[in-house]
Amino acid sequence: MTTLRSRTISGLLWSFTERMGLNVLKLGISILLARLLSPAEFGLIGMLAIFVAVAQSLLDSGFSNALIQKQDADRVDECSVFFFNIGIGLVMAAALYLGAPAIARFYEQPQLVGLARLFSLGILIDSFGLIHATVLTKRIEFKAQMRVGLFATAASGALAIALALGGLGVWSLGIQLVAEATLRTIGLWIACSWRPAWIFSVKSLRQLFGFGSRLLAAGLLNTFFQNLHQAFIGKVFTATDLGYYSRARSMELAAAGATSHTLSRVMFPALSTIQEDPVRLGQVYRKAITLSAFLHLPMMTILIAVARPLFLLLLSERWAPSIPYFQLLCVAGLLYPLQVLNLNLLKVAGRSDLFLGLEVIKKLVMVASIAITYRWGIVGLLYGQIVTSVIVYVLNSAYSQRMIGYATVTQIRDILPFLAVSATAGGLSYLVGQAMDGHLFLRLLVQTAVGAISYVAIACALRFSALDEVRSVLDGLLRPGVATDGVQP
């Protein structure tokens, strides 16, 4: 029998490989597009981000999480969700299509009418592949999703670059989104053997909705407010300002998003299988927290240190105003994977009511932050995001104490050594960069090497227990038949 450990390790490997591969590929494509298009054109796409993101969040209405959390979900449940997703996709696509003129008037950008209507097609196409991705995720099978994602991203990216070279400007970005949605949906149908039957049960949806509805509301809140800064900047400042912010944010998400997305996708289904064993749940959960901190924190601090040569080398001097935005976003993103893990615990326990309530409180904090800090410009808004990130982490972790006795103070005590060593490594990397002049690639290479080597060296000297976890994970990858923690499902 396959152990939970080996399945989780395999899931982490393929999910992280998929996410990092996708992010690296998307980053490479976006770098090429950034050299062909202007910050203002990227800003136009950023203005639509909040509308597209909210529509996509509504697509599955929390049913994906409900199917994963429900241990006895059957074919009736899956088929009902499939047809419901398509129905919501039609509604959302129609709403965005018809609302396009109002969006354009709000931002005073006539081009947004056609772009919004083009994006509505992508939303509808996405609705046909959601259940396939959910089935693969519940099985902790991410290898197929990796292949599909990489192909869809590469092909749509190549198309966008060709269109940009042909002079289509911002339309190349819009067509890229629709092409990626189409290729991803087709790929998921090929990769997953699941096929719908003509079955639809309102009773099944009602049962799933009891859990999923609160996650839907929480997800909508989270999606809306994640994109609120872009919408606010696009309205109050210029399209060029939003372009600089959007570029910084996409670069930061390429790193922070890979860690948090992987942990969320893998740990939720994995922890759901042991939700009835609180002792084991607590053990696995604490390991996940410490391991994510050990891997994520140094990556973010080193990125802060190498931001200038990274941006100037990859994007050119034209995008230099994005550098301070990127550095501040990396500071705000230090705790993001830990926030995700704490929230996953509530989903595993089936406490979607607490999940929703917590999201409401956090969004009120964010609104207050924007209202206070916007007068100091985009930099002021980013400092507000940093403070909000800390508050959000404390709120999220408070519930871990209730559920499994893993208190916030204990979590901070577990995380602080990694944060201190990461800051030291990042500081050394930054000082080396300040002492170097000349070739940007050499500077980036040396700074990155100094940061990574110093972090590993200090971690070894201090004998961090997380190093043993990393070795154990690597051993599990090399010898998947061996379970080194002695824990069986």
Per domain, the residue ranges of the chain are 1-230, 274-479
pLDDT of res. 293: 85
pLDDT of res. 16: 58
Query: 478 pLDDT exceeds 60?
Result: no
- Residue 284 has a CB neighbour count (10 Å cut-off) of 20
Of 335, 339, 315, 311, the C-alpha closest to 325 is: 311
Decide: helix, strand or coil at residue 195: coil
Please compute Rg for the chain using Cα positions: 22
Of 379, 44, 377, 383, the C-alpha closest to 243 is: 44
- Residue 103 has a CB neighbour count (10 Å cut-off) of 18
- Is 116 within 8 Å of 99 (Cβ atoms)? yes
Please, which pLDDT band fits residue 473 given cuts at 50, 70 and 90? low
pLDDT digits (tens, 9 = 90+) for 62-73: 677 777 766 677
> Mean of the pLDDT values across residues 35-47?
90
Listed ranges 111-115, 130-134, 217-221; the one with the highest mean pLDDT? 111-115
> Mean of the pLDDT values across residues 229-240?
88
pLDDT digits (tens, 9 = 90+) for 409-440: 888 888 899 999 999 999 999 999 998 877 88
pLDDT of res. 395: 82
pLDDT of res. 124: 93
> Mean of the pLDDT values across residues 24-53?
88
pLDDT of res. 297: 92
Average pLDDT score, the chain: 81
Query: 335 pLDDT exceeds 60?
Result: yes
Of 52, 60, 191, the C-alpha closest to 122 is: 52
- Is 9 within 8 Å of 484 (Cβ atoms)? no
**What gap in Å lies between CA 225 and CA 365, rounded to an integer?**
11
**What gap in Å lies between CA 438 and CA 430, rounded to an integer?**
15
